[in-house]
Amino acid sequence: MRAQLRLLAMALPYLRWMLLAALSGLFTVLAGVGLMATSAFLISKAALHPETYLLMLPVTGVRFFGLSRGLFRYGERLLGHEATFRILSRLRVWLFASIVPLAPAGLFARHSGDLLARLTRDVQTLENYFVRVLAPTFVALGTFLLIFIYLYGFDPAFGYSFAIFFLLAGAGWPLLAMWWGTPAGRERVLLQADLKRHAVDLSRGLAELLIYGGARVRAAAIEEVSRVLRRAELRQGFIEGAAEGGTLLLAHAALLAALLIGVVKVSAGAMDGVYLGVAALATLSAFEAAFALPQAWQTLGAVQAAAGRIFELADSVPPVSQPKRAKTIAGPFPLRLEGVYFRYAQGDRWILRDLSLSLDRGDKVRVLGESGAGKTTFTWLLLKFLDPQRGRITMAGVDYQEMSGEEVRRHFAVVDQRPHLFAGTLRQNLQIAKPEADDEELWRALRAAELEGWLRSIPEGLDAVLGEGGRGLSGGQARRLAIARALLKEAPIWILDEPTEGLDPLNARLVERTLSLLLEDKAVIFISHQSSIFTTQQVLRLQT
């Protein structure tokens, strides 16, 4: 329920669209009731062979209700989907903005497939809440009140009979379907997320799985999840069918009751016979508003599960603090770490202990440490992806705690040992660092990174399309492209995280030569468990 209230709060800016869609749905049902009731009156009246002019009004009514029903239905679809798409668009942007402060440390333990499922399928599942739960419930409630008053005007017996059967179809049966179908809906959401996790693992590690013979095991795991998911979907489909059948049965029971009441009234002379069909068909056609409710309420399980997963992610506590009034600085120097301690959880060993460092313009620092010594943690602290538990980090005399992460990171350029390259053109990958950079600036950066000659030989040039993760580039080309991207940022502090790791000797020498020439006047933090390519003033050793 709390998740549903939060969804409603997010939808408030689009309340007008939602109300218009719901009203259009209500008028659609009422137009259908009017069409059936007026048609019944027209047929009954015409059977008595009255004067022609007495039939003109009901004929006009049939035409009006027939045309207006189509228009209202179109308006309901148009307005309902407009409202839903606007809400989902806002929800996706909000969720992504909520995730950004968590990256990368706050998302370290989360599976990328699960994150993708929350951003896509879970958000899409919430469409059911607005289109198939809220709007049909409003339409059913409005139809019940108005048709009850209408039938009560004929005779209280018609009104009470309609109320009993409609409440059973519109409230009792949907509650049963919700109780029965909620577990299946919740299970389906979780299984779909699990299936996406398995699929991402399989696609990313397919080469290794084929080499080591693990593809069949992974495929069997996916097949098992798919089998359980299929069973949950079949169970949910059975519940939907049973709910629709039960509603249809109640609708015809209400019709039969209205006919019996009408026959008794007409036989007793308490009602004109031409109104018998009017009351009966008005009762039956009003149940159109109840048919959507069992399926609507049954989807609440899936909606609650999806909303819970979304809000659980969005409510995660960021690993770094952000000040309410962030300070800005003209330049980053001196950059100082003073007695910094860090560990990931209370009671764990300290990853970094009593770490101190002073960095000024042009300084070169070599950070040494074996795998697991905390080199990545050290980098994340410098970039304010993490906060130290003890000690402090300052930039130009201002504590990191008083600065936003964006302000800290605008002074850094990072060349990672595995730089991420996005699926897209080479130009798009470079302009991540400087969106307004023109072709001349891009070529200048590529020339400095010693990529110009290779790229000039490609007909597409800057418009060459890279595959996911930079497929199509060698390790050395990917590393030098990352250097070109970093150069576009023109940052005063560079962090080089194993920039030559995994490269063959020729490519390693090319990258080393490029960096040593380009970064002569930059402050450089060179992180490696190997010897540095720079003449360094300081050496910082991280111990496991």
Q: How many CB atoms lie within 10 A of CB 348?
A: 8
- What fold is seen in the domain 2-314? ABC transporter transmembrane region fold (1.20.1560)
Q: How many CB atoms lie within 10 A of CB 354?
A: 11
Location of each CATH 3.40.50.300 domain in the chain: 335-541
Q: Phi-psi category of 337—alpha, beta or left, where left has phi over 0 and alpha has psi -120 to 50?
A: beta
Q: Residue with structure tokens 């390790």?
A: 475
Which residues contact residue 542 at a Cβ distance below 8 angstroms, ignoring those fewer than 6 apart?
352, 355, 367, 368, 369, 373, 374, 375, 378
Q: Where would I find the H helices in 12-52?
A: 15-46
What is the model's pLDDT at position 1?
63
- What fold is seen in the domain 335-541? Rossmann fold (3.40.50)
Spatial distance between the Cα atoms of 90 and 310, rounded to a whole number of angstroms = 13
| pTM score of the predicted model | 0.71
Q: What are phi and psi of 429, to 5 degrees?
A: -65, -35
What is the model's pLDDT at position 529?
61
What is the model's pLDDT at position 245?
83
Tens digit of pLDDT per residue, the chain (544 long)? 677 777 777 777 888 888 899 999 999 999 999 999 999 999 988 888 888 878 888 899 999 999 999 999 999 989 888 888 888 888 888 888 888 888 888 887 787 778 888 888 888 888 778 777 888 889 999 999 999 999 998 889 999 999 999 998 888 777 777 777 667 777 777 788 788 888 877 777 777 777 777 778 888 888 888 888 888 888 877 777 777 788 889 999 999 999 999 999 888 888 888 888 899 999 999 999 988 887 777 777 778 888 888 888 888 888 888 898 999 999 999 999 999 999 988 888 899 999 999 999 989 898 887 877 888 899 999 999 999 999 999 999 999 999 999 999 999 999 887 788 888 899 999 999 999 999 999 999 988 888 888 888 888 889 988 877 777 788 778 888 888 999 999 999 999 987 777 667 776 777 777 778 788 889 999 887 665 555 666 778 787 6
Reported in sequence order, the residue ranges of 328-411 that DSSP labels E, i.e. its strands, are 335-342, 352-359, 364-368, 390-395, 398-399
Q: If DSSP codes are grouped into helix, strand and coil, which group holds residue 415?
A: strand
Pairing state between β 352-359 and 465-466: unpaired
What is the model's pLDDT at position 28?
95
Encoding tokens for residue 48?
């008595």
Q: If DSSP codes are grouped into helix, strand and coil, which group holds residue 412?
A: strand
What is the model's pLDDT at position 534?
55
What is the model's pLDDT at position 280?
92
Q: Cis link prior to 13 (omega < 30° from 0)?
A: no
Which residues contact residue 426 at a Cβ distance below 8 angstroms, ignoring those fewer than 6 apart?
455, 461, 462, 463, 464, 465, 466, 481
What is the model's pLDDT at position 535?
60
Sheet of strand 523-527: strand arrangement: 412-415, 493-497, 523-527, 364-368, 538-541
What is the model's pLDDT at position 530?
60
3-state secondary structure string, 252-266? HHHHHHHHHHHHHHH
Strand partners for 337: 357, 393
What is the model's pLDDT at position 144?
95
What is the model's pLDDT at position 347?
84
Location of each CATH 1.20.1560.10 domain in the chain: 2-314
Q: What are phi and psi of 470, to 5 degrees?
A: 80, 25
